Amino acid sequence: MKKVTLITGSTMGKAEYIAEHIVDILEKYNFNTTVTYGPSLKDLPIKGVWLIVCSTHGAGELPKNIQPLAKEISEKKPDLSQVNYGAIGIGSKEYDTFCGAIHKLDQLLKNHHAKRIGEPLEINILEHEVPEDLAEIWIEKWKDNIINLA
Ligand SMILES: Cc1cc2nc3c(=O)[nH]c(=O)nc-3n(C[C@H](O)[C@H](O)[C@H](O)COP(=O)(O)O)c2cc1C
């Protein structure tokens, strides 16, 4: 059974709702899922599949609950070459720094040799009143990439 570890970064809970909705879909396809909320590095498997679901706050900044993880990765420089990850950003196009946080996390993971699977999904909450709907369409395709991983 394929395992997916979801990593959420959120200030007001929207990214967490989206992650929890994704879990329902992945479990329907018999994935084994774990959702983490602003985890530290020791809470995460350093191989396998991660799915980052993160909103943006401040001016393109990471939500406070995921800042410690980003700092830990930058400082401890773990080898993430055995990690495959997907990325979902939630933000608002009223900000110039639309989905800035997921861009930063994507770059950070790449810098530590993790491999991204598929293109990131960037959800503009101004356009998608029910962001779970868009996430659902995306995950239906993304999960096929995971099934096909060796
Ligand atoms: C103070 C504040 C700053 C924000 N800054 C950004 C930003 O720089 N870029 C962006 O895309 N969205 C920004 N947003 C929009 C949030 O990312 C959006 O409301 C999102 O749905 C929040 O998700 P969350 O509940 O998981 O934190 C900001 C929202 C607030 C309230």
Which CATH number do you get for residue 48? Answer: 3.40.50.360
**Ligand 1 atom at minimum distance from 11 CA:** 27
Is the pLDDT at 46 greater than 80, yes or no?
Answer: yes
Q: Which of 10, 92, 93 to mutate to test the pocket of ligand 1 (most atoms within 8 A of CB)?
A: 92
pLDDT band, residue 1 (cuts 50/70/90): confident
**Ligand 1 atom at minimum distance from 100 CA:** 9
Å from CA of 91 to ligand 1 middle:
5
Q: Is there an atom of ligand 1 within 6 Å of 38 CB? A: no
Is the pLDDT at 56 greater than 70, yes or no?
Answer: yes
pLDDT in tens, 100-147: 999 999 999 999 999 999 999 999 999 998 999 999 999 999 999 998
C-alpha separations of 97 from 8, 53, 56, 102, 137 in Å: 19, 17, 8, 11, 25
Domain housing 79: 3-147
Write down the mean pLDDT value for the chain: 96
Q: Which of 56, 64, 88, 128 to mutate to test the pocket of ligand 1 (most atoms within 8 A of CB)?
A: 56
Q: How many domains, the chain?
A: 1
Q: Is there an atom of ligand 1 within 6 Å of 99 CB? A: yes
C-alpha separations of 118 from 46, 68, 85, 106, 148 in Å: 20, 26, 9, 12, 12
Do the strands 115-116 and 48-55 form a parallel or antiparallel pair, or are they unpaired?
unpaired
What's the whole-number mean pLDDT along residues 23-32? 96
Å from CA of 24 to ligand 1 middle:
24
Q: What is the pLDDT of residue 150?
A: 65
What's the whole-number mean pLDDT along residues 72-101? 98
Q: What percent of the chain has pLDDT over 90?
A: 96
